[in-house]
Structure formats: C-alpha cells, structure tokens
C-alpha cells in the first residue's frame, strides 16, 4: 500500500529562506500557467494542456480537468496567494532518517518522525502553514499488498450512521455522539481577534502580528476538530466490518443561511473521508447510500413512509404499526438496512449468525 505520513520539520533560518524561495517559484509557475490558460479559455473557449511544465503545472492541469469534467462540481482554479498555505513536491534524491529529512540542493532538515516508516520512500511534499510552521508529507510504499476486502460479513458488525447537528453521529445501535461544536466554543475569541485585525493599518507590523494571532486561533480550531474526527473514525472502523453512511451534498446544505455555520462546524465530509480511508486500510467496507433515500420518515419496522416530516419533529409514531421512533435512530436503522441490501447486491455474504460483537472497550477491560 502507498501510505503518507505527515511530520513536523524545523528548518534553520537559511533552510527556511531557501524553502520560501522555492515556494515562491512554485507559486509563480502555477500562477503564470493559470494566466496563460485562462486567457486562452476566455478568448477561444478552448483548453490547453499544462503537462509540459513541472509538478505545479501538473497540479494546475488536474484542477482544469476537474473543472471541465461535468461529473465533478469543481470550481475554476484560483491564483495562489503569497500569504496562504505554500507547498512544493520532490520525488528525486529524497531520503529521511530517525530525526531528519533530505531534499535536493539542501542539507538534512531536522524533523520529528513520530512513527516508524516502513518501505521505500517515493516522494516528499513540503508545506508551510499560514502560521509559519513547516511540515513534510512522506509518501512511502510499504511493499505489502493491500488487504482483501472482507467477503463474509457479520450483520452484527454492520453499522449504520446518521449525521446530525445536535449529535454529530447517531448509529444503528442507538449510540449518540454529541457534537463538540468547536467553532461555537471559540467564536468569541475569533471575533475579538478579527476585530483587532480589522482595526490595524494595512502594511503595518501590528497588522502582521494580528493576522498571525488570528491564523493560529483558526489552526487550533482545525486541529481540535481533526483530532476528534480521527479518534471517532478509528473507534468506529475498529469495531465494525462495514459502515453505512448517507451521500451528503454539503455544498447544497450550506446554502441554508440559518444552519450553514453549524453545518460547516460539524465537518461531516471530513469525518466520512477519514472513515473511508481507514476502512480501506483494514479491508473493510464503507458504503454510501443514495442521498434521496428517505431515511428519517420511513418506518424501520414496517417500511411505511410519511409524506412529510418537519425538521423540528424529533420523535414520531408510525401510523401503520404504531411503533414509536426516535427520528435519528430510526434513520440510522434504515441506512443500515439499505447498506446491507447494497452489500448483498454486490455479491457479498452478510450473515446474522455471528453473535453479539465485542467492542474495543470490552476488550481493553479484559
């Protein structure tokens, strides 16, 4: 399998100056190619190939391919900002050790290698965050074949997940994970730092310091959300053989002005993305069901479908079988049932004779 490990690096002042010049050159190549292709597209409506240039322009070419692909909702490429995140790609003459990495034309850079790297190192992508921190993403081939997907599944280890706002994730076993609401907790601090930045004069040293403080606050917020999602997704994948989720169109949901802030804070797409690659790494399944499936207003017992169900109704009784439902748990059960049908349609075996599963908490206690 091809795996990537992101590590923190600590370049010396001279090395940092070299990297910043390199980031600037990469940004210039990308922006220049974008200017040329944009002019051609606006004047003649045609697309130019950018593969003759180096990696920055290869990335630009991929961005244009996504833009011209009707199946992908990609936006038109934008110019890279000097004060935004910077990166550069290196695939030749790269190496790493216990506490260093090496790229062409530069001596070893101090690094914190927090996990053992197995296999052959194929490339290193260096990056600099808005807060001035440097990172290196090490791509290596471990030489081990990717795990074969599990063919015979235990129905007791197939989990349906419904995403929400009050509770971030509700599973078909009735467990509810509260929404941490990271943005809400730090909104007052972000607002205060944003106002401080707005009051500073453009181009002043005070504005540069205020912008750095605001960027660090946003970075702490993003790190806290990512850490929570990594831990939650790891627990879910370790305890199940298949995870069933809805296909969410978050971009359309963000058009709701009343809920857009809360939806963005929940980070559903990030959680599903982490579930997907963690499941693939272990040979397990992540199934996405049709986004038009009415999971909330369909009875999980008899299949009766309500004509309408308001968002503020959290509990309802089925008029056909009189079963009392919790909206979210009922949706998770329906998502699980649809996922099992999809697994069986793919030729997989889903048996209900596996008995009750043991969670990782129980195993740890034992």
- Quote the pLDDT of residue 366: 31
pLDDT tens string 239-263: 999 999 998 888 888 888 888 999 9
pLDDT tens string 280-317: 999 999 999 988 899 999 999 999 999 888 888 989 99
pLDDT at 354 over 80: no
CA atoms within 13 A on the CB side of 20: 14
Q: Give me the mean pLDDT over the 207-229 stretch.
A: 95
In the set 61, 154, 162, 171, the catalytic residue is: 162
Q: In this prediction, what percent of the chain has a pLDDT beyond 70? A: 94
Residue 312 burial by CB count (10 A; 0-12/13-18/19+): exposed, middle or buried?
Answer: exposed
In the set 154, 171, 265, 328, the catalytic residue is: 328
In the set 61, 154, 171, 246, the catalytic residue is: 246
141 is catalytic: no
265 is catalytic: no
pTM, rounded to two decimals? 0.80
Strands (E), the chain: 2-10, 86-90, 95-96, 100-102, 109-112, 120-128, 134-141, 152-154, 158-163, 167-171, 176-178, 242-246, 285-289, 315-317, 324-326, 349-351
- Quote the pLDDT of residue 357: 41
162 is catalytic: yes
- Quote the pLDDT of residue 9: 92
pLDDT classification of 49: cutoffs 50, 70, 90: low
- Quote the pLDDT of residue 190: 96
- Quote the pLDDT of residue 115: 86
């Amino acid at each position: 399998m091809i795996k990537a490990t992101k590590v923190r690096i600590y370049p010396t002042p001279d090395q940092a100056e070299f990297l910043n010049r390199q980031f600037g050159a990469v940004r210039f190549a990308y922006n220049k190619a974008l200017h040329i292709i944009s002019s051609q597209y606006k004047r003649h409506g045609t697309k130019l190939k950018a593969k003759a240039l180096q990696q920055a322009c290869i990335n630009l070419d991929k961005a244009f391919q996504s833009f011209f692909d009707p199946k992908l909702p990609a936006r038109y490429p934008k110019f890279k900002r000097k004060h935004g995140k910077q990166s550069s790609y290196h695939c030749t003459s790269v190496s790493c050790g216990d506490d260093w990495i090496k790229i062409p034309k530069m001596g070893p850079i101090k690094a914190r290698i927090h996990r053992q790297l197995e296999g052959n190192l194929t490339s290193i992508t260096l990056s600099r965050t808005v807060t001035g921190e440097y990172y290196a993403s090490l791509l290596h081939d471990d030489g081990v074949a990717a795990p074969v997907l599990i063919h015979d599944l235990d129905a007791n280890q197939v989990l349906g997940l419904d995403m929400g706002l009050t509770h971030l994730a509700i599973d078909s076993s009735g467990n509810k994970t509260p929404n941490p609401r990271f943005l809400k907790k730090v909104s007052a601090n972000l607002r205060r730092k944003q106002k401080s930045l707005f009051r500073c004069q453009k181009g002043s040293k005070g504005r540069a310091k205020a912008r750095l403080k605001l960027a660090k606050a946003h970075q702490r917020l993003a790190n806290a959300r990512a850490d929570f999602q990594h831990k939650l997704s790891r627990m879910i994948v370790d305890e199940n053989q298949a995870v069933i989720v809805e296909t969410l169109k978050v971009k359309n949901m963000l058009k709701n002005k009343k809920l857009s802030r809360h939806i963005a804070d929940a980070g559903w797409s990030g959680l599903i993305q982490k579930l997907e690659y963690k499941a693939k790494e272990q040979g397990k399944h992540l199934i996405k069901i049709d986004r038009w499936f009415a999971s909330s207003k369909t009875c999980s017992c008899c299949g009766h479908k309500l004509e309408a169900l308001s968002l503020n109704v959290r509990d309802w009784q089925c008029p056909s079988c009189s079963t009392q439902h919790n909206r979210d748990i009922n949706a998770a059960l329906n998502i699980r049932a649809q996922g099992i049908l999809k697994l069986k349609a793919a030729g997989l075996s889903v048996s209900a004779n596996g008995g009750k599963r043991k969670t990782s908490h129980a195993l740890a206690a034992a």
